[in-house]
Amino acid sequence: MSDSKLSTFSLAAAVAGAVSMAAMTIPSTASAAGKEKCYGVSKAGENGCANAAGTHSCAGQSTAAYDNGEWKLVAEGSCVEMGGLLEPSDGINEDAKMKAG
C-alpha cells in the first residue's frame, strides 16, 4: 500500500472506532438517568461494572456477594433502604445481606 492509501485507511479506521465507542456510551448514559451506584448490594456475578479495588473491569465478574467494593445501578434513593452504601468500602456488607434475606 502506498503511504497515502495507508493514511486514508488509518484515518477511516480511527473514525469508525470513535463512532463505535460513542454509540456504546449513549445507552449507558441514558439508562443511568434516575439511578445511582449502590455498593455492597450485588450478589456474586451480578455487579454493574469495575470494582473499586480495580481487580476487574467488567460487569458480572464479582466473586463475593455483598462486597462493599462492588456496585450495581439501583433506583435513585433506594440504595440506603436496601442497606447499601453510596461510596465503596472494604469488606462484606452484612446489613444488605440480612435485608436481602
**H or E stretch including 72?**
strand 71-75
Domains of the chain, by residue range, sit at 1-31, 33-101
Segment 7-47, tens digit of pLDDT: 655 545 544 444 444 333 334 454 578 999 999 999 999 99
**77: left (phi > 0), else alpha (psi -120 to 50), else beta?**
left
- The one-letter code for the residue type at 62 is S
Segment 71-92, tens digit of pLDDT: 999 999 999 999 999 999 999 9
Does 58 have pLDDT greater than 70?
yes
The pLDDT score that the predictor gives to residue 21 is 43
**34: left (phi > 0), else alpha (psi -120 to 50), else beta?**
left
